[in-house]
Amino acid sequence: MSQFLPSPVTWPRLRASRLYCILLIIGVLCGGSCLLRASVALPALVTSDLDPKLKGHVLIEELKCAACHPAEAAVGERSKTAPRLAAIGSRVNPDYVQSLLLDPQAVHPGTTMPDVLSHLPAAEKSEVATALTHFLFSRQENDFSLRVPDAVAAGHGHRLFQARGCTACHSPRDASGVEVADAAFVPMGALERKYSFDSLVRFLRDPHASRPSGRMPDMRLPGQDLERIAHFLLQNTRVPGALGYTLYRGKVWEGLGSDEVKPERSGQVQDFNLKSLDDVHHHSAVVYTGWINLAAAGKYTFFLTLNGGSVQVDETVILEQAPSDRRGVKQLEAATELAAGRHRLSITYFHTGHEPSFSCELAGPQHARQPVPSSWLSASDEVIPVLAPLPVDAGLAARGREYFGKFGCASCHDDLGVSSLPAPALAGLDASRGCLSQERGPWPAFDLDDSQRELVARALPEASRLELDDRQKLEKSMVTFNCGACHERKGLSSLSPDRKALFTGSQPALGDQGRVPPPLSDAGAKLTKEWLRDVLLHGQRQRDYLDASMPQFGEANVGHLIDLFGQVDTLEAATLPPAPNILESKEAGYEMTGTTGFGCIACHTFNGQKSGEVSALDITQLPRRLQKNWFHLYMREPTRFHPTVIMPNYWPDGRSTRPTILGGDTTQQIEALWAYLEDGPRARKPLGLSRESNELRVGDVTEVCRGQSAAGYRGIAAGYPERLNLAFDSGEMALRQLWKGEFASVDYGSFSARGTDHISFPPGVPFHRLQSLEDNWPYKGKTNYSFPQDHGYQFRGYHLDASRRPSWLYQFGDISVQDYFEDVRDAKDQAYFKRTLRFDAPAGQLPFYFRAATGQTIVTHSEREFSSDRLRLRITSDHRGLVRPGDPGEVLILLSPPEGRSTLTLEYQW
């Protein structure tokens, strides 16, 4: 393993290793592309330091010996589940299935699928393989079809294939898609023979649907990443078409070589009609390439309508416009003498005006000026056959079904309602015969190498009565799922520098820790069970700066690891201080975290906000992830757990570098940090925490920002600790927006809501004396200059309570209003707003309406409870609501405040 990074190699570099005997064949089956013949590839067996005895058991389980050879149920349960074949008709190319059946290792090097037909004579083998294929494609949809790869997306996909961590298990590939690394990777072969773009994306989106074994994990990538990776892996797919194109965006008038111009997408179209390209935005260029087949020799004239562009036939540029000329729509023509036959054609169109305008016509010796017919054009100079669905022959399919049982396929692929006869029981098998021998016979041929055979042979006698302790169980599972491809673990796996070099990240200042997934040594003593569960089963992660994603293997496959980690990994108990004064402790933790203490926030993100250049792990998330005991041990000596850790030791030799805090007591100080950070995102913001970020985060108190926004120029937003947010329009004194989650992005004089579940309210004041229910609710029109003061309104500001929740203050005529929102949780722990409007009124107020909610769909649950679209509104004081239909509909509450203080209370839940 000397070089993994993609390099311009056109031939796979192959090397025999201790365990892998790799044969190279030129695959006649593969349409001329080269494939390698390999033995069964289980890289973790090579790279890990697992006990060899256990490696044998891993092999027995991965090869599914117990599928044919009856054994204790436990062996079967531990064994891999074979791919589900029910929906193969839309997933896999039928040619590939047939080829794979004929020679699995040649077509999918390293596959654990055995050759079950190896003993048959060639003709019979071919007949059986065909029948099996017809059987498989007779099951459900048989609609496998190809799509032209997008070379631009493939370029991005190449980067993502490595960055997202695919190359932790699969060989890195060069730009042309050829696997460049040697043995210790899971080879995939030429995927364009197997998958279509659609089927590969579908597979990557939910690999466990067809492969419930979880050996291929769900990488939980965004759809665009998956599609780009699929375009990369399938870049050699060939589909017939008339013209290839690449669409560029940017300052195209500077030429396509400019840094300011980026390719956007590529593909194939049938003609030069721009409409075939979907949206062509301005500042675009299209490069068409293809071959034109001319029936007769003679003078050919191209007629072009365009802003700018060029035409090249074979090696000759027959028309080109200087960049400065590429403005305005022009009619151009260029003539050239061409021989009959095929000519390479390249036409570039620069779209620099407002409306795209392009046409390409051709006049020749045998025809007048006309658009170039698609039938003359070909995207490739080779003839590419159209892929037709396999015409399933019912007779063949029926025979295939028999073969599927007869040759044991159904033993592993047990989802098709076919069964196979069992083989001799696993216990008492003779390792020198049958599958494990090198003989060919009526048994599956596994292409094991000698050492693999030996591992199985040694493990076989005890396979049926295997007793493993927790550590063995844990380590065996970690090898089965190749955890060591990313994570080091003492005694089990380590990453060579070459392999580490494959990982990338966005925080170079963090060194390897900013690129390489974290080690799992002592993981069970370090991480809380809840966090392990979140990571293993819900894809949670804290290290956003790692490009690699945390794969998901499925609860059925790795759920047992959560407990095993805790049972296996134990560390000594740290010295904890005698019960400290919790308030004093938190205060000290607050002090130590800020810039006047240890300055933790100089490197660590705090509740999503970073202060320095580095953004190491968010420390408000620590108590969610870490066990307290480990925190104490780690803080005392970080290098014990991470020899190259960047974090300094603040208590060298157990003595604090801040002797004035808590009397300089080391354990008290570490405990204080823990006590402080235990409040998580609600921990008080430490001193020196940067406010430079445009994102305003809410901690333990309400945050306020104001300015131009969706709530008007005089909008004020308040973000509450329960992750509820609102925007109040201080111009019209009305609630304008509610949302949940992240608070706001702030800029100079403006803000915008972040988060989710946004609810907007239309413009207009809160109270109004409607003369009739037909009257419009008043709001400020463009020339309503004195509004809403002319309706008696006057904004008076806001006061903050102890948690800095604002009470909005305003006048409505003679009535003083205090309008207070409180973020509270209900019995089900759901946060909602409680709103209290306090009126201080002189005597003799005429009644008026309060508009409590508006929406397209308002449902009345009772006279005190309404649903307005997604918002649930409850009146909890002695008032009643009424619904006024309209666009939008309104929930109005009639108010008639008595002299003195009165109160209206509401709840907003959404």
Partner 1 sequence: MVSIRQAAVAAMVFVPVLQAQEDLGAMWGTAAEEAKYYPLVDIPIPPGVPMRPGGFENLDDGRLAVSTRRGDIYFVKGAFETPPVPEYHLFSSGQDETFSLSWKDGAMTATSWGEVTRIADVDGDGVADRYDTLTNNWGYGEGHEFAFASKHDPEGNIWVALGLSGSYESNNLFRGWAVKVTPEGKMIPVCSGLRSPGGVGANAEGAMFVIESQGPWNGSCSLKHLKEGGFLGHPASYNWYPYAPGLTRPALEPRSDSRMGVEKKRVKELVPPAVRFPYIKMGRSISGFRLNTTGGQFGPFENQIFLGDYSLSVILRATTEQINGVWQGACYPFREGLATGIMNVEFSPRGQLIAGGFTTNSQWPVRGTEPFALQRIDWNGVMPFEIKEINITTNGFRITFTEPVDPQVAARPEVYGITTCTHVYDAGYGSPEVDQTTAIVTRAVPAIDGLSVSITLEKLIEDHIYEFDLTNVRSHEDRRLVHSNAYYTVNEIPKP
**What is the per-residue DSSP string for 800-847?**
E-TT--EEEEEEETTEEEEEEEEEEE-TTS-EEEEEEEEEEE-S-PPP
CB of 590 to partner 1, least distance (A): 15
Nearer to partner 1, 675 or 716 (CB): 716
Query: What would the two tokens of residue 790 be?
Result: 């002319």
The nearest distance, CB 265 to partner 1, in angstroms, is 30
Closest distance to partner 1 from the beta carbon of 250 (Å): 18
Per-residue x/- track, 809-848, partner 1 (CB under 8 A): x---------------------------------------
Q: Which residue, 688 or 886, is less far from partner 1 as judged by CB? A: 688
Q: Are 498 and 3 in contact (CB under 8 A)?
A: yes
Interface stretch with partner 1, choices 35-43, 205-213, 453-461, 790-798 (CB under 8 A)? 790-798
Name the residue among 649, 640, 646, 600 with its Cα closest to residue 620. Answer: 600
Whose tokens are 């509610």? That residue is 738
* CA R_g for the chain: 35
Question: Of 728 and 866, which has the nearer Cβ to partner 1?
Answer: 728
CA distance 45 to 484: 10
- Residue 840 CB contacts under 8 Å (≥ 6 apart), including other chains: 815, 816, 817, 818, 900, 901
Q: How far is the CB of 270 from partner 1 (least distance, A)?
A: 41
Q: Least Å distance between CB 854 and partner 1?
A: 22
Q: Kindly tell me which of 344 and 799 has the beta carbon lying closer to partner 1.
A: 799
At 667, which helix (H) or strand (E)?
helix 666-677
Q: Which residue in 641, 637, 633, 645 sits closest to 603, CA to CA?
A: 645
Q: Minimum distance between the CB of residue 737 and partner 1, rounded to whole angstroms?
A: 16
- Of 344, 655, 799, 880, the one binding partner 1 (CB under 8 A) is 799
Q: Smallest distance from the beta carbon of 806 to partner 1, in angstroms? A: 8
Q: Which residues pair with 378 in a beta bridge?
A: 291
Q: What is the DSSP letter of 548?
A: S
Nearest residue to 197 via CA among 154, 133, 165: 154
- Comparing C-alpha atoms, which of 868, 866, 867, 870 is closest to residue 880? 866
Smaller CB separation from partner 1, 17 or 750? 750
Least separation in angstroms between residue 790's CB and partner 1 is 10
Nearer to partner 1, 569 or 729 (CB): 729
Q: Pick one of 802, 827, 843, 846: the residue that binds partner 1 (CB under 8 A).
A: 802
Core vs surface per residue 688-698: b (16+ CB within 10 A) or e: bbeeeeeebbb
**CA–CA distances in Å: residue 681 to residues 394, 603, 610, 623:** 64, 17, 14, 10
Cα–Cα nearest to 627, from 674, 595, 666 = 674
The Cα–Cα gap between 817 and 41 comes to 74
Establish if 798 lies at the interface with partner 1 (CB under 8 A): yes
Say if residue 635 is exposed, middle or buried (CB neighbours under 10 Å; 0-12, 13-18, 19+). Answer: buried
Q: Which is nearer to partner 1, 479 or 705 (CB)?
A: 705
To partner 1, the closest distance from the beta carbon of 714 in angstroms equals 5
Assign residue 866 a region (left: φ > 0; alpha: ψ between -120 and 50; beta: otherwise): beta
Q: How far is the CB of 801 from partner 1 (least distance, A)?
A: 8
The nearer residue to partner 1, 404 or 798, going by C-beta atoms, is 798
Q: How far is CA 466 from CA 54, 78, 461, 477, in A?
A: 10, 11, 9, 14
Task: Give 104 or 731: the residue with its C-beta nearer to partner 1.
Answer: 731
Which among 292-300, 504-512, 791-799, 831-839 is the span making contact with partner 1, rule CB under 8 A? 791-799
Pick out residues in 735-774 that bind partner 1 (CB under 8 A).
Answer: 746-750
Contact residue for partner 1 among 329, 800, 859, 894 (CB under 8 A): 800
Of 505 and 731, the one with the shorter C-beta distance to partner 1 is 731
- Which residue's structure tokens are 């660590």? 604
Q: What angle do CA 525, 530, 536 make, to 5 degrees?
A: 90
CB of 610 to partner 1, least distance (A): 9
> What does the alpha-carbon distance between residue 637 and residue 522 come to, in Å, rounded to a whole number?
15
Cβ proximity to partner 1, 267 vs 806, nearer residue: 806
Restricting to residues 661-690, name those near partner 1 by CB under 8 A: 688-690
* Residue 731 engages partner 1 in binding (rule: CB under 8 A): yes
Cβ atoms of 732 and 764 closer than 8 Å: yes
Question: Residues near 157 by Cβ (< 8 Å), separated by ≥ 6?
Answer: 227, 228, 229, 230, 231, 232, 233
Q: Which is nearer to partner 1, 112 or 611 (CB)?
A: 611
- Binding residues with partner 1: total (CB under 8 A): 38
Give CA torsion, residues 163, 166, 172, 178, to 10 deg.
Answer: -120
Enumerate residues 6+ apart whose C-beta is below 8 A from 707. 713, 715, 746, 747, 748, 749, 750, 751
> Binding pattern to partner 1, positions 78-117, x when CB under 8 A?
----------------------------------------
CB of 542 to partner 1, least distance (A): 22
Q: C-beta of 154: minimal distance to partner 1 in Å? A: 36
Residues between 601 and 640 with contacts to partner 1, criterion CB under 8 A: 611-612
Residue 493 backbone dihedrals phi, psi, to 5 degrees: -145, 145
Q: Which is nearer to partner 1, 122 or 802 (CB)?
A: 802
Q: What's CA 789's distance to the chain center, in Å? A: 51
Nearest distance from C-beta of residue 592 to partner 1, angstroms: 17
Identify residues 50-69 at the interface with partner 1 (CB under 8 A). Answer: none
| 671 vs 703 by CB, closer to partner 1 | 703
Distance separating the N- and C-terminal Cα atoms of the chain: 56
Binder among 336, 595, 649, 876 for partner 1 (CB under 8 A): 595
Residues 516/503, Cβ–Cβ less than 8 Å: yes
By beta-carbon proximity to partner 1, the closer residue of 44 and 746 is 746
In whole angstroms, the minimum distance from the beta carbon of 355 to partner 1 comes to: 23
804 binds partner 1, rule: CB under 8 A: yes
The only residue of 730, 737, 818, 867 in contact with partner 1, by rule CB under 8 A = 730
Q: Which is nearer to partner 1, 303 or 787 (CB)?
A: 787
Output 33 or 752, the one with its CB closest to partner 1: 752
x/- map, 686-725, partner 1, by CB under 8 A:
--xxxxx----------xxxxx----xxx-x---------
Choose which of 273, 496, 756, 789 interacts with partner 1 (CB under 8 A). Answer: 789
**Closest separation in Å from C-beta 290 to partner 1:** 41
Residues in contact with partner 1 by CB under 8 A are: 595, 611-612, 688-692, 703-707, 712-714, 716, 730-731, 746-750, 785-786, 789, 794-800, 802, 804, 806, 809
